[in-house]
Amino acid sequence: MKAVIRFILLLFLPGTLQASVVILNGLTHVHQVATANARVQGTIRVRNENAREARILIYRQDLLAACGGVAEYPEAGSHPRSLGNALKTNVDERIVGANEEYEITYTAQLDPHKVSTGTYWQVVMIEVAEPVKEQPRAGIQVNSKVRYAIQVVVDVGTYEGPRLSYENVVFDKVTSKQGLLKVMLKNNGSFASRANVVLEVYDTSGNKLKTTEPNTRMVYPGYCSTYEIPVSDLSKGKYDCVIIADTGKDLFGSNIALQIE
């Protein structure tokens, strides 16, 4: 008898698996409103790329990333800046026909008595009810359910650039020729920010040797995001490096020494 392993896989980039349903208009939706009694509305466009119909489930959860911890998805309303029950979708379940595109509509009516200046957020989870079946390997068949977490972000009031701080920087050696720099950034402000992090590497004479590819993540107020930066093609030795976090409004830098052994 073949064993069957079932697990849930969170997807933040479409195309990681051959999923039958894909998101067409991005996994982060940002709205800016001037006052706390505003109403926001948006759409999430999905497409079934399979030759048969697919059933999708739509529900809402919070997204938390405590510094030093992993991302968690508790029930809506678990923290003061959750959109809570204010965020609603037009459907909770739907059959999407073969090759059909469908727009899920969401709305959020903010409560001026509970909302102040800053960012409020939540995620709309879209789960493909039918698992993705992979080819059996060594008598084991793997069924992977696919869920997309679409971040809905509402900025209330005049936007202010966040105060970012470097909470932790760790270099892990992966192979003899490649390492992984893990940079934990904390948002000490009231507004969320999409921060782009790069690493500049210099030799002992001050000559720039390389700049890593941009790595962009959302950093929410009071929480952290950890950036993983691959570091490769460096000979053994000591290097002076600069980590730069760019929010589009401000730059936050930190100097580190990197020892390649």
How far out from the chain centre does Cα 157 lie? 24
Reading the block at residue 232, the tokens are 């490769």
Residue 29 and residue 149 share a domain: yes
CATH of the domain at 92: 2.60.40.10
Residue numbers of the domain that contains 180: 164-260
Residue 146 and residue 178 share a domain: no
Over residues 62-73, the pLDDT tens digits come to 999 989 888 999
Residue 106 and residue 31 share a domain: yes
3-state secondary structure of 204: coil
**Final residue belonging to a domain, choices 102, 126, 156:** 156
Residue 208 and residue 149 share a domain: no
Residue 42 and residue 115 share a domain: yes
pTM: 0.84
Q: What is the mean pLDDT of residues 124-145?
A: 70
Distances (CA, A) of 25 to 13, 19, 28, 173, 220: 12, 16, 9, 36, 21
pLDDT at 261: 82
Reading the block at residue 52, the tokens are 């048969």
Say which residue the tokens 């980590």 belong to.
243
pLDDT at 145: 79
Residue 151 and residue 40 share a domain: yes
Reported as a pLDDT band with limits 50, 70 and 90, residue 116 is very high
pLDDT at 70: 87
Number of structural domains in the chain: 2
Reported as a pLDDT band with limits 50, 70 and 90, residue 2 is very low
Residue 111 and residue 84 share a domain: yes
How far out from the chain centre does Cα 130 lie? 24
Reported as a pLDDT band with limits 50, 70 and 90, residue 143 is low
**Final residue belonging to a domain, choices 118, 139, 156:** 156
Residue % of the chain over a pLDDT of 70: 87
Residue 183 and residue 131 share a domain: no
Sorted by sequence, the CB contacts under 8 Å of residue 185 that are 6+ apart come out as 164, 165, 166, 167, 195, 197, 219, 224, 225, 226, 227, 245, 252
DSSP designation for 84: G
Residue 128 and residue 256 share a domain: no
The C-alpha atoms of residue 242 and residue 8 are separated, in whole angstroms, by 37
DSSP designation for 81: T
**CB of 198 within 8 A of CB of 212?**
yes
Residue 138 and residue 15 share a domain: yes
Over residues 11-70, the pLDDT tens digits come to 443 334 456 899 999 999 999 999 988 999 999 999 999 899 999 999 999 999 989 888
The C-alpha atoms of residue 245 and residue 196 are separated, in whole angstroms, by 5
Residue 217 and residue 193 share a domain: yes
Residue 122 and residue 60 share a domain: yes
